[in-house]
Structure 1
């Protein structure tokens, strides 16, 4: 699978390393961001956050859109 953003730049030799958790497009190392995601579960009076953070893989377009707020 090739990176979507690289394909738009006529670079078809770049392999994707993952799929964006938000939009589902494939992204390479240059066009991806790995973010920390806290895992929580409803527990009694409110959510309980786990001691270990998870990872979330997103493309640069979704990362930029999420940070725009």
Structure 2
């Protein structure tokens, strides 16, 4: 799979991750990584795991989430 962002720029670069929001493949230059605490939906605020999970997104989805 190739990076979708790079394809838009007429480049072919292998994807190293998949956006957790839209499913687009992204390369190391375009992937955005954040740490997020996992919480139980039935008990908001209760942390499921002490160690935060990793969440990978593409630049478009990250920007959309920051704009909210």
Larger Cα-atom Rg: 1
Give TM-score, length-normalised by structure 2: 0.87
Tell me how far 1:37 sits from its aligned partner.
Answer: 1.3
Instruction: Determine which structure has the larger strand proportion and give its number.
Output: 1
For structure 2, the residue ranges without an aligned partner over 5 or more in a row are none
* 2:45 partner SS: strand
Which string of whole-angstrom CA distances, capped at 9 and with x for unpartnered residues, describes residues 24-67 of structure 1?
00000111101111111245xx5311311000110011001100
The number of residue pairs the alignment matches comes to 66
Q: What runs of 5+ residues in structure 1 fail to find an aligned partner?
A: none
RMSD over equivalenced CA pairs, Å: 1.3
TM-score w.r.t. the length of structure 1 is: 0.86
